[in-house]
Chains A and B, each alone.
Chain A
């Protein structure tokens, strides 16, 4: 018993640190995947229609991309350390299997970094259309990188392509790892999430500006480009998510049971919206009889696997949180679709955005709401897979490091990331304030990956030319 307590505490610390650092990085990674596409749409619009506002937006957005990309590179490096610092037994046993995906991701990341640098550097140094095309590899490599990383997670959900399943891996089939069974639903779901988060987040910045009275054309274009893209993709995401939920009910039935608080395997299962999960069923919440079965198999007669199908130790923890995370994700997704419908309806009738301040207020919170939905989705997939790190193959408690001191590193990481996040926000706000103030040097403001700063005149020694 005395030995079990430190181990449990060790596992909690490692899981907390991983959850926190991944939850932080995922926001920056989403911006890295989707923001370049939005930036290029503005760039295209600016060149194709001679739209000076769109071109200015593209230029400023490219600087935000550079700053968030640089910070994302740091938080991503931390994650690669954590594969060894937190989960050495996982990486030691399966590194040869999932590692091939990270090797591929490395190429995409490297190329993305190079083309971000070329694009940032290319403003006013390359011909306008050449410059645009120099930026096109960025969103493409972003998609490739996202595929590779998310495919590792989907492999953890649907492991395959290696043998034997117990003991040391002696045979690997890379293609079965790269195209594992959960890729078709998990990868598109995450890439769309990245686009939704970025689209709504960028739009929300301009909505806040308009609420503060800056209702010029520049702000409208800045609002509309990301918002239209995100609103168009929100229903697609709903369909992909729905397919993913059905696939999970089939591939990882215990995770699905945890998400929906299904205690016993049965037919005519009630769908509960929120409510508290207890061993004797859901308390509170709004119940829709038979609807859970219907969602799984399009018939209320469909059998849904319950948590009782496996031993208590093999069930995911924190069922109520899991259930709430799932419902919140779906709820926010639905609300974001409604926002798009509102915009589309008013645009259809009046060729304009809704004039009420409530619309701008809704857009202003949509960015944070999209982030909440994405984080909830990660809670569902990660907590829902527990107690397994590799589904039905390796338990998380067997993967964690035997080194002590994770509570210390977790505390340091927590403090450091809070500062990092604050510094990032302050930096972005400072850049925005300078742009607003019309600071002459602001458009050439120095950013990471940007052109070299001029050598300050006073470096040269006196007497030199």
Chain B
């Protein structure tokens, strides 16, 4: 494996982390937005708030990680994506600002109307960001992002059936992931009706996500043949794993095995992200730019890999320390249910 491939692997690990951690958080925002008003809506939002409270906003870190590795390791691809897809990426950034502001202020906002405003912003931006990031992925998959400074079409590159489908798929996947997570949170909170509420939503979003995925594959066949061939070729085992995990989630939910359902839901997302990576390989931008052609000079790649190694050695124990503290303190204080920490 070349060092360019290794850096691409590091990049993809960051994308995976963002898809899982970010996805679950975006999805929670989606359910917060759609919880409605009244007693039930209020309790649903309180549960969501409580469930994602202990998970500090790691999304920025994963996203920045992905951006930095992309522009350092594969500058030409970064330039091409960010200039041609100026509009959807600006809108995704808008969502990130609104979400971050919602996160920063909703815990401190005391007055009800301010809190409601912060919650609405949080919910709305939770839909905005994954949707537009999805349209970006669609544009890249279909080869609509040529190398250069804004060399592609600023509008049709991402405003097309494939991009819109993938955008919708991203929103649905986030909602599905979050619903599966929130089922166990509701159970720990002794909120039986909310547990049923999210089981129903997990089932509905599973069906919607599956339907969107099938529609996406049909559209890939018509519009992004290279990725389609990859997904049905080298990437097929991972696609099958993803489908099996997705189906397994439904079985687990029927049996009431929530922890297993969460693991399988994560597995479904991870498998499809890596299936996509395998399908694209060896391209960064399918049929436009390969990983090797787009890679930085070797000293830069080596440095990125070394920094990644140092990061793994320093950051992982620190995170474990943080989570252990959170867990231990909750155990000794016995203050309510065990908190979600991993995702």
Contacts and interface: CB of A to CB of B under 8 A. Distances in A.
A453 B72 contact: no
Main secondary structure of the interface of B (DSSP, over half): helix
Given A107-B310, A121-B329, A92 B103 contact: no
A33 B68 CA distance: 21
B233 interface: no
A2 interface: no
A171 B296 CA distance: 9
A349 to B, nearest CB: 43
A125 interface: yes
A449 interface: yes
Interface string B186-201: 0001111110000000
A461 B297 contact: no
Given A84-B82, A448-B104, A459 B150 contact: no
B53 A95 contact: no
Contacts of A76: 60, 64
Interface string B232-258: 000000000000000000000000000
A402 B150 contact: yes
A458 interface: yes
Interface stretch (A66-74, A295-303, A371-379): A66-74
Given A92-B149, A95-B78, A455-B50, A103 B68 contact: yes
Contacts of A458: 43, 46
A460 B315 contact: no
B212 interface: no
A70 B104 contact: yes
B53 A452 contact: yes
Given A95-B72, A103-B68, A113 B325 contact: no
Contacts of B69: 103
B297 A96 contact: yes
A99 B300 contact: yes
A418 interface: no
B109 interface: yes
Interface string A443-465: 00111111111111011110111
A434 B109 CA distance: 12
A8 B150 CA distance: 17
A3 to B, nearest CB: 15
A412 interface: yes
Given A83-B71, A110-B315, A454-B335, A125 B93 contact: no
Contacts of B310: 107
A182 B67 CA distance: 26
Contacts of B337: 455
Contacts of A103: 68-69, 72, 303-304, 307-308
Contacts of B149: 88-89, 92, 401-402
A404 B154 contact: yes
Contacts of A404: 154
Contact of A91 (B60, B75, B89, B321): B75
Given A81-B93, A95-B72, A99-B71, A117 B190 contact: no
A446 to B, nearest CB: 4
B57 interface: yes
B79 A460 contact: no
Interface string B306-343: 01101100110011011001100100000111010000
Interface in B172-208: 189-194
A73 B100 contact: yes
9 contacts: A67-B104, A77-B64, A81-B90, A89-B83, A91-B75, A99-B304, A109-B61, A115-B318, A117-B56
Interface of A: 67, 70-71, 73-74, 76-78, 80-81, 83-85, 88-89, 91-97, 99-100, 102-104, 106-107, 109-111, 113-115, 117-118, 121-122, 125-126, 169-174, 401-405, 409, 412, 416, 419-420, 423-424, 427, 430-431, 434, 445-456, 458-461, 463-465
Enumerate the 6 nearest inter-chain pairs by beta-carbon distance, A residue then B residue, closest first: A84-B82, A99-B72, A92-B79, A74-B100, A96-B296, A95-B75
Given A70-B57, A402-B150, A465-B190, 19 more contacts: A74-B96, A83-B82, A84-B83, A88-B79, A89-B79, A89-B149, A92-B80, A93-B75, A103-B303, A107-B315, A121-B329, A122-B325, A169-B297, A172-B299, A405-B90, A451-B54, A456-B46, A459-B50, A459-B194
